[in-house]
Each structure stands twice: as structure tokens, then as C-alpha cells.
Amino acid sequence: MPRISSYATGFKQQVIELAETDGNRGAARHLVVDKGNVIFWRGSESQLYKMAKSKPASRNDAPFYGELESKLIDCIIIARVPPLAP
């Protein structure tokens, strides 16, 4: 069986609903997904039900190092600008 890198939100919701009745291990075995994924998806259940069913993942988190990233961008811009002629 090919390895799937991401699952649609509708599938994750289906797994959560099955896990509520059969448990994490039963849902994982029945739908052929890792039990760790089932546990993680149940933990983020409220966020998953707010998303569109066809969307594969939530990638809208804020960066961990926002201030550092902005300083890095400033340094790159300064390095790219050619020096002024004397």
C-alpha cells in the first residue's frame, strides 16, 4: 500500500467519529491509519470541524521566531542592495 503524506479533513473527521465508538486502536485498525494520528486528530477535533472537508492540513500557524525572521529579512535586504557610489 502506498504511503499517504496527508489526509483530507473529511477523512480525519470520519476517523474521529469512528474512534468515539470503537476507540483509537479500533478506528486506526479499521481505516488503516496510525494510532498516533488518531490520537493527534482527536486532540485537535475542534479545529478540524471548523475547516473545509477537502482541505488537507492546517498550515496557518504563526512562526515560532517572528522577530528573528523579520530581522533576518532586513539583513538579507541590506546585503542585496548594492553599495552607493562615492
Domain CATH code at residue 35: 1.10.10
The pLDDT score that the predictor gives to residue 85 is: 66
The pLDDT score that the predictor gives to residue 51 is: 81
Q: Domain range holding 26?
A: 1-56
Residue identified by cell 473529511 is 10
The number of folded domains in the chain is: 1
Query: Model-level pTM?
Result: 0.62
Mean pLDDT of 30-54: 89
pLDDT at 77 over 90: no
User: Could you tell me the CA-to-CA distances from 34 to 16, 31, 57, 65, 84 in Å, in that order?
Assistant: 13, 9, 17, 31, 58
Mean pLDDT of 79-85: 74
* DSSP annotation of 58: -
Q: Is residue 52 part of a domain?
A: yes
